[in-house]
Chains A and B, each alone.
Chain A
Amino acid sequence: EAGVVQSPRYKIIEKKQPVAFWCNPISGHNTLYWYLQNLGQGPELLIRYENEEAVDDSQLPKDRFSAERLKGVDSTLKIQPAELGDSAVYLCASSFRNNEQFFGPGTRLTVL
């Protein structure tokens, strides 16, 4: 069974540019999470989806970050415009009905 797939694995952009990350969860998992992991820190939840609905986006900086999960499967996370402080690893995870979360390998973003 395929795990959580994320792309790209690495992204380097200049500040003020837009960037998007893509996540394909494990088949059948209705809950999808986006986490931010800063260097030397644990992951912090940005947004959680139950199917197509964002049920917890309280930690998502809505002035520059947006996310969507249109058909309740794949999800994209976008930053526009990116700032230097956005350099981090962006992790996607999925679970079936809020049980064990399975994590993808993450996208490492570097903003120059």
Chain B
Amino acid sequence: GEDVEQSLFLSVREGDSSVINCTYTDSSSTYLYWYKQEPGAGLQLLTYIFSNMDMKQDQRLTVLLNKKDKHLSLRIADTQTGDSAIYFCAEKENTDKLIFGTGTRLQVFP
């Protein structure tokens, strides 16, 4: 079945850039998403990219999509302590179902 994989943990210094990576298997995905989850909270949509795009920039966030390799990344510029959270990538199947990755825990230290 469809599978979305992420590395489990990333630690960066405040002010540096963070890059969170994700690979997926479903080549028919229509949209790919990045969600943020803070402790005890639900998921917050950060950004998304349509499958026919290869890059999207939104303020400090840059999404890169390599459809050939089925690889998605999220770059956070000037990472702040408030960015510490778990980040999930998700692919949207043509049935509108979202398949989430296992999440990457981002820790930002001063």
Contact = CB atoms under 8 A, between A and B. Distances in A.
Interface of A: 4, 40-45, 48, 56, 91, 93, 98, 100-106
Contacts of A42: 4, 88, 90, 100-103
11 contacts: A42-B4, A42-B88, A42-B100, A43-B43, A43-B88, A91-B42, A93-B42, A101-B98, A103-B42, A103-B44, A106-B42
A56 B98 contact: no
A41 B45 CA distance: 17
A91 B88 CA distance: 15
A43 B100 contact: yes
Contact of A45 (B45, B88, B97): B97
Interface string B85-102: 000101000011110111
